[in-house]
Amino acid sequence: MAGVLDQVRAHLRAHFAAVGADSEPDSASVTFLGVERIEVLRFGPDERPGLEGVMHYVSLGCSRHPMGDPSAVAADPLHGPRAEVVVSLRNTAPTPGIARTVALLAATPAVDGVVLLPDALIDLGSALWAPRPGHAPLSALLLGASDIADLALAEPMDPVQFLTATPISANEAAWMRLKGVDELRRIWEQDGTDIRDPARV
């Protein structure tokens, strides 16, 4: 399905060019045992009001195959949701290893049979990048809708959806499990939390 990834890459280039990030993205290639290669493209820095300096890390490879029921006897090569993930971060603290984290998230459908959907909480079980001394690590990701339009593919394939992946702490993940995703987002808004700031906790 190399054609799908070529279309996704072109779609992403067009989206970010339209918002001012028209240079060729940096790219990192990540492989995991038993999983096809996943690229992570870095677009930015963003110049839009409120997003100044934000870098966008986007997976390229998750949408290669549709996400489906891991218990199915045979995988359906055409039908089923497809997605890529976007992590958007300000340059307020070093985030070594972020490309591997994005790739690991994008690999979860192939590795664990997870279907990536808005409002899903994905706990990777370890810090998303090396935490600063005295700061709690961000260790999970909350998925949501992004401003990147879905990419329509040839019938009968489902379109590719682009999901934001917001890094959150273990405390925030516990709060979400207890109170729900809407309440967590309400608290962020109430407190003026900049969820793109990697140094926010």
Could you tell me where the DSSP H helices lie in 26-162? Answer: 98-112
| 3-state SS class at 59 | strand
User: Which tokens go with 51?
Assistant: 């997003």
Q: What is the C-alpha separation between 44 and 25, in angstroms, rounded?
A: 8
**Burial class of 74 by CB neighbour count within 10 A (0 to 12, 13 to 18, 19+):** exposed
Tell me the pLDDT tens digit for each residue of 51-104: 988 999 999 999 999 997 655 656 677 889 999 999 999 998 889 999 999 999
The angle at the Cα of 142, spanning 140 to 144, to the nearest 5 degrees, equals 160
CA distances from 39 to 36, 59, 128 (A): 10, 6, 17
pLDDT of residue 71: 57
Give the per-residue pLDDT at 169: 92
Q: What is the pLDDT of residues 141-168, one digit of tens each?
A: 999 999 999 999 999 999 999 999 999 9
Q: Which residue has the higher pLDDT, 6 or 74?
A: 6
As a whole number of angstroms, the distance between CA 121 and CA 117 comes to: 9
Q: How confident is the model at residue 30 (pLDDT cuts 50, 70, 90)?
A: very high
For residue 157, the one-letter residue type is M
What is the C-alpha separation between 47 and 148, in angstroms, rounded?
A: 16
Predicted confidence (pLDDT) per residue in 112-138, tens digit: 889 999 999 999 888 999 877 777 789
Q: What integer pLDDT is reported at residue 47 of this predicted model?
A: 86
CB 71 within 8 A of CB 131: no
Question: Which pair of structure tokens corresponds to residue 20?
Answer: 């001012």
Relative to beta strand 138-145, strand 55-60 is unpaired
For residue 72, the model assigns a pLDDT of 60
